Amino acid sequence: MQGTPNANRLHIAIFGRRNAGKSSLINAITGQEIALVSEFAGTTADPVYKAMELLPIGPVVIIDTAGIDDIGNLGELRVAKTKEVIGKADMALLVFPADGPEPSDFSSELEWYSLLAKANIPVIGVLNKCDLEIQDEKVKSDSINEGSRGKDETKTPAGKLDELKNAFPVPFVKTSIYDLASITELKNALVNQVPFYEKDTIVSDLFSPGDIVLLVAPQDIQAPKGRLILPQVQIMRDVLDHKGLLMTVTTDCLEALLSKLNTPPALVITDSQVFDQVNAILPEDIPLTSFSILMARCKGDLGVFTDGAAVIGALKDGDKVLIAEACTHHALQGDIGREKLPSWLRDFTGKNLEVTVKTGIDFAEDLTPYSLIIHCGACMFNRKQMMSRILLSKNQKVPMTNYGTAIAYMKGILPKVTDLLL
């Protein structure tokens, strides 16, 4: 049975130095041997993703990462991969080993905490490997017995926790992989700190139970054989969950279906690529939008995208446009990102535009060379990842729109297909 797509799961990333016990902690949280554990520093190379259910939060993805203090040429590449995780993390655990070197130096962790805070990611501090707490009482006992020659109690887990609380303005939990109660306490802390990370609905706020919701779903060349594309499936499920009367039809059968309905649809959702055909057939009083626009509202900021679409009309000869796709599908002839959108842009503007296509996580850090970014619906991204890209474009003052809003603008129907959503 297919589970919740990772794009709809809360992403919890775990950061810390090498041998802080991050991988062991993930195995303890999940109850499975997910991450490779070794006494040697630098065992984790690329980020490791594990989908699971964390009640009462629900579906989550736990992300194990390389040590933030990794060294050497390969270590620098690992750290760069770890930094990419910040763009998709909804929450973060910042892990400190209770057996860390003394005197305490939190400079690396403070640098990473600053990056996480800048990205508005809630952070929970974890003092790990607190099975050493057993030694804590022995140290205190030695201190009493040795009088003025007593041990420095800042070297105990309890003492180190006090140091951490003074240095980092975040909640802290002490953990040991051998202590189930401490892992439960960490899970409870995650529940208490969980942020809003996905909209509760994609479309159900636009109709009432018992209303007809009609989907126009031409089978795109990129759709897997025998299956529907993910946005169509997700929207179907949302309609069914909220007791809408769901109907689905291909573009060529739309007119025939409408003629057989005694009650008109409360909403029609179409593939953006056939806006022209559907809008020409549909009565003016029936609300219309698209899969891409609904995903844009769910995953990103529709207001930003509608503002960005208006920039299309101001593009000039030589302007650079970035088309960004969340997935890395095998492009076929007639691909919307590589062929159709560039062609429509040049035809609409009459300008000689330079169009670049980037896929998956391949998204430029420096967006300033571009006059406009056109993003896909981001059904393969979680909301945090899409909002991180929107924030990056805002900070660099580069307008962003998405496939559906851009197409609607060029077809002259943007207000009609977005007003009911804004």
Neighbours of 226 (CB within 10 A): 5
Confirm whether 199 is domain-assigned.
no
Q: In what order do the strands lie in the sheet with 320-325?
A: 354-359, 320-325, 372-375, 400-402
- CA-to-CA distance for 402 and 297, rounded, in angstroms? 10
Same domain, 175 and 69: yes
* Same-domain check for residues 237 and 367: no
The number of folded domains in the chain is: 3
| 83 inside domain | yes
Given the structure tokens 């975040």, which residue do they identify? 170
CATH number for the domain that contains residue 370: 3.40.50.11410
Find the CATH number of the domain harbouring 247.
3.40.50.11420
Residues 219 and 279 in one domain: yes
Domain ranges, residue 276: 204-293
**Long-range contacts of the stretch 165-169 (C-beta < 8 A, 24+):** 165/125, 167/106, 167/110, 168/94, 168/106, 168/109, 168/110, 168/113, 168/123, 168/125
Residue 410 lies in a domain: yes
Distance CA 103, CA 317 (A): 60
Same domain, 233 and 354: no
Q: Is residue 179 part of a domain?
A: yes
Tally Cβ neighbours within 10 Å of residue 362: 10
Domain final residue, candidates 163, 193, 223: 193
What's the CATH code of the domain at 29?
3.40.50.300
My answer on whether 307 and 272 are in the same domain is: no
β-bridge partners, 249: 216
> 1 in a domain, yes or no?
no
| 132 and 14 part of one domain | yes
User: Do 25 and 122 share a domain, yes or no?
Assistant: yes
80 with 151, same domain: the answer is yes
Between CA 49 and CA 46 the distance in angstroms is: 10
- Residue 189 and residue 241 in one domain: no
The secondary structure of the chain, three-state, reads CCCCCHHHCEEEEEEECCCCCHHHHHHHHHCCCCCCCCCCCCCCCCCEEEEEEECCCEEEEEEECCCCCCCHHHHHHHHHHHHHHHCCCCEEEEEEECCCCCCCCCHHHHHHHHHHHHCCCCEEEEEECHHHHHHHHHHHHHHHHHHHHCCCHHHCHHHHHHHHHHHCCCCEEECCCCCHHHHHHHHHHHHHHCCCCCCCCCCHHHCCCCCEEEEECCCCCCCCCCCCCHHHHHHHHHHHHCCCEEEEECHHHHHHHHHHCCCCCCEEEECHHHHHHHHHHCCCCCCEEEHHHHHHHHHCCHHHHHHHHHHHHHCCCCCEEEEEECCCCCCCCCCHHHHHHHHHHHHHHCCCCEEEEEECCCCCCCCCCCCEEEECCCCCCCHHHHHHHHHHHHHCCCCEEEHHHHHHHHHCCHHHHHCCCC
Question: Are 245 and 288 part of one and the same domain?
Answer: yes
Asked, for residue 356, whether it belongs to a domain, the answer is: yes
Residue 281 in contact with residue 248, Cβ under 8 Å? no
Question: For each of the chain's 422 residues, which pLDDT tens digit applies?
Answer: 356 777 778 899 999 998 888 888 888 887 766 545 445 444 555 788 888 877 767 788 999 998 898 888 888 888 888 998 998 899 999 999 887 655 568 888 999 999 999 988 999 999 999 875 544 444 444 444 444 444 444 456 777 888 899 999 999 999 998 998 999 899 888 888 877 555 567 999 999 999 999 999 986 555 556 668 888 999 999 999 999 999 999 999 999 999 999 999 999 999 999 999 999 999 999 999 999 999 989 888 999 999 999 999 999 999 999 999 887 655 555 678 889 999 999 999 999 999 999 887 778 889 999 999 999 988 888 888 888 899 899 989 999 999 999 999 999 999 999 999 98
Question: Can you read off the two tokens belonging to residue 83?
Answer: 């930094």
State the greatest distance between any 2 C-alpha atoms of the chain, in Å, as a whole number. 94
Q: Is residue 198 part of a domain?
A: no
Nearest partner of 88 among 7, 156, 33, judged by Cα? 7
- The last residue of one of the domains, among 293, 323, 351, is 293
Check residue 164 and give left, alpha or beta (phi > 0: left; psi -120 to 50: alpha): alpha
Question: Is 223 in the same domain as 345?
Answer: no
Asked if 397 and 357 sit in the same domain, the reply is yes
* Nearest CA among 113, 92, 84, 86 for reference residue 12: 92
Q: Residue holding tokens 């650079």?
A: 320
Beta-carbon contacts of residue 339 (< 8 Å; ≥ 6 apart): 333
The neighbour count for residue 336, using CB atoms within 10 Å, is: 22
Mark which of 193, 227, 257 sits at the end of a domain. Answer: 193
Q: How far is CA 235 from CA 73, 150, 285, in A?
A: 45, 66, 22
What's residue 214's pLDDT? 98
> Quick check: is 283 in a domain?
yes
